[in-house]
Structure 1
Amino acid sequence: MELEGTQELQADPQTVWAALFDRDVLERAIPGCETLEQTAETEFAATVKLKVGPVSARFKGGVELSDIVPLVSCTLSGKGSGGIAGFAKGAARVTLEDLGETTRLTYSADAAVGGKLASLGNRLIKSTAQKLAGEFFANFEAILAEQAEPAPVPEPAE
């Protein structure tokens, strides 16, 4: 199953790039993420609780970033097991384009599922994957916006 998308983010490429490698940002942005642990500079272990149609499962797995071209592109590869629900694995190529005050993030992903999840049908799985990607980028953009807000200036003590 293939997924593609583009998101225009209200931040410069350096900020977006740093956020893509920031454990705290990713943990908050990933829908259903319960834990995210950085196991190496470009590797993470995660536990994510998801519902796909009638199947709800807690997936444990890992994500690795590779083919890294700083501030330009990288590949995220991951796989997870949801026990009786099955497994999911995939890879996404992420590319950043500097648009001046904003950054265009483009992704092209390929994913596969097995077990009980595979019995749900490609249309349901693809629509759920697209919904989750949309949620991730909405969360990601909200976090970037939070970080861009200037810190409040404390009032001088009298």
Structure 2
Amino acid sequence: MQLTNQQSLPVGQAQAWEALNDITLLQAAIPGCESITPTGPNQYEALVTAAIGPVKAKFKGKLQLENLQPPTSYTLRFEGQGGAAGHGKGSAEIRLEAVSARETILHYTANAQVGGKIAQIGSRLVDMAAQKMAADFFATFNLRLQERYQVAPEPAPAAAAQGGFARFVAWLRRLFGAA
């Protein structure tokens, strides 16, 4: 499986680098992460509960940061065991691109191999689960960045800002021609 994407972060490059190396912030942002514990220089153990299709398991993993080029890039190597659910290993290339003092683009390419029950459910479900986990991570990570660095969130478009009940009422009015 390969996952390549980029994400806009609402902070400068140095702040983004600092946040990407803060295990407390990362633990709060990684979906299902129960703990991240340092085990050596740039080495960590993580405990994450994840659901991939019908398979839900607690994965115990090892993480290692390599090729550190502060505040620009690093490589993250990972491997994890989920008991009967299976196992996975791989790496991710992380690169930060400064856009301005208040915006950084995070580019990433992750490659992973999975085995066991996880591999049996099919690559499409595994890819979808990985994409959802990445989207959930970045949604939470960006909120934490905004809180930490007092960054105002981007204003939502009027239609998106409208609550669910208000959209429902507007739909009913259009449907029945009420003013």
- Same fold per TM (> 0.5)? yes
Q: Which has the higher contact order (CA 8 A, sep 6+)?
A: 1
1:2-151 equivalent positions in 2, closer than 5 A: 2-100=2-100, 101-149=102-150
TM-score, structure 2 normalization:
0.82
Assess if the C-alpha contact under 8 Å between 1:25 and 1:143 holds in 2: yes
Give 1 or 2 for the bigger CA radius of gyration.
Answer: 2
TM-score, structure 1 normalization:
0.92
Instruction: Encode CA deviations 1:40-68: one digit per residue, 9 max, x unaligned.
Output: 23111011001111111000011111011
What are the ranges of 5 or more consecutive residues in structure 1 without an aligned counterpart? 151-158
Q: Among all aligned residue pairs of Structure 1 and Structure 2, give the percentage whose two residues are the same amino acid.
A: 42
Instruction: Encode CA deviations 1:60-89: one digit per residue, 9 max, x unaligned.
Output: 011111011111110111010000000011
Whole-Å separation in 1 of the counterparts to 2:74 and 2:55 = 31
What are the ranges of 5 or more consecutive residues in structure 2 without an aligned counterpart? 152-179
Assess if the C-alpha contact under 8 Å between 1:21 and 1:42 holds in 2: no
Matched pairs, number: 150
Larger proportion of helix: 2
Deviation at 1:141, TM superposition (A): 0.8
Aligned-residue Cα RMSD (Å) equals: 1.0
